[in-house]
Amino acid sequence: DIVLTQSPALAVSLGQRATISCRASESVRSSMHWYQQKSGQQPKLLIYGASNLASGVPARFSGSGSGTDFTFTIDPVEADDIATYYCQQSRNDPNTFGAGTKLELK
Amino acid sequence: EVKLVESGGGLVQPGRSLKLSCAASGFSFNDYWMGWVRQAPGKGLEWIGEINQDSSTINYTPSLKDKFTISRDNAQNTLYLQMSKLGSEDTAIYYCARASYYDGTYYFPGVMDAWGQGASVTVSS
């Protein structure tokens, strides 16, 4: 299985940039997607295909990368962005998720 | 509006079976792959598996392949997850999700762009 490694937490200030990384144990090409999960809610798709913004998602969210190294950015961070962010690869079966990065306020 | 509604969760004794349903509406169900994801209390997301449009291809995460069975009824717009030999480690919220995405130009398999609210399953005696 492809293992996706994310940092467990990131503390940011409102209005600043938050950058979350996701490293894959082998290449997933551009089959990397990012989800936001707020406490008590289901996940929500934000970015698909490494860098494509899902419908209705604000442009302050973005993604980049290919192969094994990916980055998800929120710029600027707003209070409503406090959540846990997961990367997911769909290049190989089984699809896998990263362990999640909890975004916290400084 | 795309809507996915899970049902069938609850308290179940260890070793027993349980079947979850996911009712889909607001889109052409038989045009999409569908999938299941679970989340144990306080833990991250775990991909369970997916099924293609005509049920000819079903993929599972290996550790659950012998316990869980995914199926669908396109006439009823419903996705199912049959779970057997349940243990405490299966206590989780179970989400169904639409698992393929077409952005008007390209097709992206595995992208989960719509999720249900989740069904809670507790395995305990």
What is the block-wise mean pLDDT of chain B (125 residues), using blocks of 10 residues?
98 98 97 97 98 97 97 98 98 97 89 98 97
Locate tokens 């243990």: which residue?
B87
What's the rounded Cα separation, in Å, for the pair A34 and B119?
Answer: 22
pLDDT per residue as tens, chain A (106 positions): 999 999 999 999 999 999 999 999 999 999 999 999 999 999 999 999 999 999 999 999 999 999 999 999 999 999 999 999 999 999 999 999 999 999 999 9
Quote the tokens at residue B112: 């989960």
Distance CA B80, CA B78 (A): 7
Per residue, the 3-state secondary structure of B59-101, as one string, reads EECHHHCCCEEEEEECCCCEEEEEECCCCHHHCEEEEEEEEEE
Phi, psi dihedral angles at A28 (to 5 degrees): -115, 15
Say whether B95 and A31 touch across the interface (CB within 8 A).
no
A31 lies within 8 A of chain B by CB = yes
Q: For B67, which DSSP code?
A: T
Which of A3, A20, A47, A95 is best to mutate for the B interface (most B CBs within 10 A)?
Answer: A95
Shortest CA distance from B112: residue in chain A: A45
Task: Kindly state the DSSP code that residue B29 receives in the 8-state scheme.
Answer: G
From the CA of A99, how many Å to the nearest CA of chain B? Answer: 5
Helix-strand-coil percent breakdown of chain A, rounded to 5?
5, 50, 50
Query: What residues form DSSP beta bridges with A23?
Result: A5, A69
Q: Report the 10 Å Cβ neighbour count for A10.
A: 18
Cβ–Cβ of A88/B47 closer than 8 Å? yes
Contact status of A56 with chain B (Cβ, < 8 Å): no
